[in-house]
Structure 1
């Protein structure tokens, strides 16, 4: 029998099914973009499950056809353009806006339960970068893929992903993914060792639950949690430092207006191509 969490959530669903806690991103109309209260609610749910006396697995997954499309572009575009007196003021303001994200990554890195990422569908941008490298187990639907546009937008790999992907799949594959924006299918990710299992898209969430329940029948929950703790203990400092370093590097790119310049350059290029086609 499933129970809900202690708090009322609007942009996620939290369910506790026996020894499995499930956090489901629940903004399917926006492809589970990181808008509204989604991120802070995930932080709250992770904290709640971390302290839960009975759960062994914490699953993060999504409602609808996408796991997450990352940043809420529409919401960001609607924000007024703020003028800052100095570059330092601009950088500090940007860093302050991402305190929630830093706490989100810390909450996953320090999470006591076995953290399972259930990729119910495609993930783009932050949805493809933030969680994958710091997950303990990744289960993916057969149509899932990962893709990041960081270099195309003049940005950098976000919130520790350069380090966590290096640890997970090696430097050259991580560079292909993070530098060049290569689209990686679930099948490739399984071959590379990032994805543990692939399940059919239909009834994906139930298949994830069934698989984890099978593991709980075979294996002792505390033993699995201790294995996770021992494996991640020497990685903790590097992972947290990577989150901060990436936030600082991203802030510098924002101070330089790198993403705005890239957008203007691409718009001009597309406009010039359009004019050339029109002349033909």
Structure 2
């Protein structure tokens, strides 16, 4: 076989899915020349943008690694809207930052992330329409689409529990390294909402229907060991050596040449990217529709009543 096949390589790209009455239609596949892999990817270097300011998301770029740290340990790294905005912006930026070869995301303290902060849906200082619009803008268009659209490899360093969005964002990472103290939970039925972040599709694809149903339908908590056994997690390290073990791996990955990383990720992720965006939108529409349902409002009010005691 010739060693000069790369210039003529062709990729598969999923054409945009159309929705009709919130019903997903079939995929159609078109050929894409390899030159499109680098679309939107620049070689210019720049420092981390300050467009979205929040000290609850720490971002740095060093030795080719763009590091995202969810820095709200006092609230188990629950994600507020400005935090989602910053994470999404950082992921979009990674595509055009020549100084970024790969991205890592981790949490400060004992939690990776407890997911969406229910304060985002509290009506104390905002109306239901405002909540729905913010959810669509920051949860979906920034956070979720940021992960889906990121062309650089993403490595999740799961230092502790991942709950809700803290679990459902992980299938969009290209590698998931977890502490043995981590666990994963998606208590969506208990709250009164449907699964989000394409978990209704990606969880069964990764771990099989049985395990996925256990989590998404019946709120089963998945241990780090179980997560590795079913392919949800790549590797599990002892908590006492977790940071050191992850750093060693990431440092090695950062030495790999960029072009093969970009091309390999596009081959793996590219064909489903548009499908995932459409499915993500479909799921999020269902979540948004349920925000003002009596069951969801009751659960949120109970949560804040408990917090106020």
TM-score bracket relative to the smaller structure:
0.7 to 0.9
Q: 1:72 aligns with which of 95, 117, 129?
A: 117
Instruction: Please list, as runs of the form range in 1=range in 2, the aligned pairs for 1:238-277 lying within 5 A after superposition.
Output: 238-261=275-298
Which structure 2 residues correspond to residues 85-234 of structure 1 after superposition, within 5 A?
90=129, 94-103=132-141, 104-129=143-168, 131-202=169-240, 204-217=242-255, 219-234=256-271
- Please state how far the C-alpha of 1:222 moved relative to its aligned partner: 2.0
Residue in structure 2 matching 1:20, options 65, 72, 78: 65
8 Å contact kept, 2:180–2:238: yes
Deviation at 1:140, TM superposition (A): 0.7
| Count of aligned pairs | 255
| 3-state DSSP of counterpart to 2:67 | strand
Question: Residue 190 of structure 2: SS of its match in structure 1?
Answer: coil
| TM-score in terms of structure 2 length | 0.75
Q: CA RMSD in A?
A: 2.6
Post-superposition Cα deviations, 1:78-130, rounded to whole Å, max 9, x if no partner, equal 724747xxxxxx5x86145321111221111111100111111101122122x
Structure 1, unpaired ranges of 5+: 84-89, 267-280
Q: Deviations over 1:195-242 (max 9, x none)?
A: 11112223533432210222344x433212211111111111221111
Distance in 2 of aligned mates of 1:24 and 1:4: 17
Q: Distance in 1 between matches of 2:75 and 2:260?
A: 39
Describe the shift of the 1:225–1:95 C-alpha distance in structure 2 as closer, same or farther (beyond 3 A).
Answer: same
CA distance in structure 2 between the aligned counterparts of 1:106 and 1:115, rounded to whole angstroms: 14
Is the 1:11–1:41 Cα contact (8 Å) retained in structure 2?
no
Cα distance change, pair 75–100 in 1 and its aligned pair in 2 (3 A): closer
**TM-score, normalization: structure 1?**
0.82
SS in 2 for 1:202: helix
Q: 1:37 aligns with which of 82, 92, 101?
A: 82
